[in-house]
Amino acid sequence: MQITGNTILVTGGGSGIGRGLAESLHQLGNQVIISGRRPDALADTTKANPGIASLTLDVNDPEAIRTFAAWVTTEYPSLNVLINNAGIMRAENLRDLPGGLADSEAIITTNLLGPIRLTAALLPHLQKQKHAAIINVSSGLAFVPLPVTPTYSATKAALHSYSVSLRVQLAGTPVEVIEIIPPAVATDLTPGRIPNERMMSLPDYIEQAMQILKTQPTPSEICVEHVKFLRFAEANGNFQKALGMLSSVTL
C-alpha cells in the first residue's frame, strides 16, 4: 500500500482506533473520509481535522451500504482504500442469554456482516484503481478469545479468516489486503476502558501501528509488540496460558 496520495474511507472513524488512523493518514497527505452512525462523533473529528470529510453510515443496514457505496464512489472516484474498522463489543453471559439474542446478533451484524457487505459493494470499484487496499481491523482476541465477550471474539476470528481468504482471491489484482490486529487499547469500545493501565494507550498504539505501515508498506498483518503474545500464542505453545489470563478479565 502506498502511504500517501490515497483516498481513504474509514468506517467507525469518529472515535477510537478509527479516528486515530484517520487523523494519522490525513496528516500524511491522504484524502480521508470517515463514516459512522454518530453524527456528533463525526463532527468532532472533522472539526478538529480540517480537510477530513464525514458521511453517516449504518453498517447494519444492507440497503444503506449499497446506496452508500454507489454514492461515495461517485463523489470520490479516486477512492482506493477501505478501512473496515467499525465494531462493537458487549459482555455476554452464555449461561443466561435472553431468548432474542439481540446483543449477539448485533455484534455479528456490525463486526462481520458489515465489513463483508461493504467490501463486496466497493470491490468492483477498488479493482479498477491503479493501487488499492482493503484494511480489516480485527483483534488479538481473534486468536485467543476473551471469554466474557464470546461473540465479539468469534467475529474477530471470522474476520481474520475472511481476510486471509480475501487476500488469496485478490492476488494478482491491484487490491492489497492488510489486517490490523490491535491489542487491548484504551478506547470507548466498552465502559471502563478509559483510562485503564492494563491497556495500551491509544496514541502509543496508533504511533506504533503507523510506523509498521510506513516501514513495511505492504504487510499482510500489522502486529505491534503488545499483541504478539496473543497473535502467536497457539504457535508458541502459550494458548492455554493466554486463555487463563483472559478468563479472569471482567468488564
By annotation, the residues acting in catalysis are 152
Grid cell of 211 as nine digits = 510506523
Spatial separation of the C-alpha atoms in residues 110 and 184, rounded to whole Å: 19
Collapse the DSSP code of 134 into the 3-class scheme (helix H, G, I; strand E, B; otherwise coil) and give the result: strand
Collapse the DSSP code of 160 into the 3-class scheme (helix H, G, I; strand E, B; otherwise coil) and give the result: helix
Q: Decide: residue 22, CB within 10 A, 0-12 exposed, 13-18 middle, 19+ buried.
A: buried
Of 76, 63, 64, the residue nearest 32 (C-alpha)? 76
Show Cβ contacts of residue 57 under 8 Å, excluding neighbours closer than 6 positions.
11, 35, 36, 37, 64, 65, 68
Task: State the amino acid at position 233 in one-letter form.
Answer: A
Residue tagged 463489543 (cell numbers): 89
